[in-house]
Copies of this chain bind each other. A is one copy, B any other.
Amino acid sequence: MFDLIAFDADDTLWHNERLYRMGRERFHQMLAKYKLADTTEAIDERVNQTELQNLKYYGYGVMSFVLSLIEASVELTGGRISATDIEDLLKLSKEMLTDPVELFPGAEEAVTRLSAAYPLMLITKGDLLHQQAKADQSGLRGYFRHVEVVSDKSRATYAAILQRVAVSPSRFLMVGNSLRSDILPVIQLGGWAIHIPAELSWSHEHVDADGAFGDRCFELGHLGDLPGFVDGLAGRRAE
């Protein structure tokens, strides 16, 4: 039924967003000594705005996040941020970049079982070096025939990937936690998608689900259910 099954990586196969939450939390603690008038929410909003404005320069990933934190720290403190605190933000970037990969429960079994029946691909966005390092550290890299690190997950990105590996969208299934990045563009392209919501997701990845996902999109609560569900789908189509 499928010629290729692709997985998103961050917050689909392994923890990621919690690391950014930790980073934001550290940022708040750091700013506490400056006794800003801004509420926690206002600071978060400023960080988020800075991140979004900087996407066109820095793209996605830890370096982009920390460069945005540095920028926001200068603005929020009106230039009072200390060099020591800047140094702490640089340390934060290195901690985040070397944080051990922790797989979600069921990730290894899902990938192992599906790889026995389908060619698998990993499609992830972010820092090239960091995403490749996480794929290596995950212990799962060997199960993926292709690993694609992309700068954005647009419909055009998926179309280009599928063209390169000569797979028709109608024979392609994408599995991921982000409606915006993993599901919607694939459905629009004529592919299949399984949405597995993560407990934590970056607000930027949210979209208003308006029921336009059609009958080639499914939602599962847990990765552990994935292999059986894919088998079921294939069986139903074979009848």
Q: Is A81 an interface residue (CB 8 A)?
A: yes
User: Contact between B79 and A93 (Cβ–Cβ < 8 Å)?
Assistant: no
Contacts of A64 in B (CB 8 A): 63
Q: Count chain A residues whose beta carbon lies closer than 8 angstroms to a beta carbon of B.
A: 34
A36 within 8 A of B: no
CA–CA, A172 and B83, complex, Å: 49
Cβ B58 vs Cβ A129 within 8 A: yes
Instruction: Select the stretch in A15-23, A41-49, A70-78, A174-182 that faces chain B.
Output: A70-78
- Contact call B71/A90, Cβ cutoff below 8 A: yes
Contacts of A58 in B (CB 8 A): 63, 93, 97, 127, 129
* Known contacts A79-B83, A81-B83, A84-B79; A59 and B90 CB within 8 A of each other: no
Summarize A's interface: helix, strand, loop or mixed. helix
A residues apposed to B, CB below 8 Å? 57-59, 63-64, 66-67, 70-71, 73-74, 77, 79-84, 86-87, 90, 93-94, 97-98, 127-130, 132, 149-152
Closest 3 CB pairs of A and B: A59-B129, A129-B151, A79-B83
> Once the chains are docked, how many angstroms separate the CA of A174 from the CA of B76?
48
Cβ of A111 to closest chain B Cβ, rounded Å: 20
Name 13 interchain pairs, CB-CB below 8 A, sorted by A: A58-B63, A63-B67, A67-B90, A67-B93, A70-B90, A74-B84, A77-B83, A79-B84, A79-B87, A86-B86, A128-B128, A129-B151, A132-B151
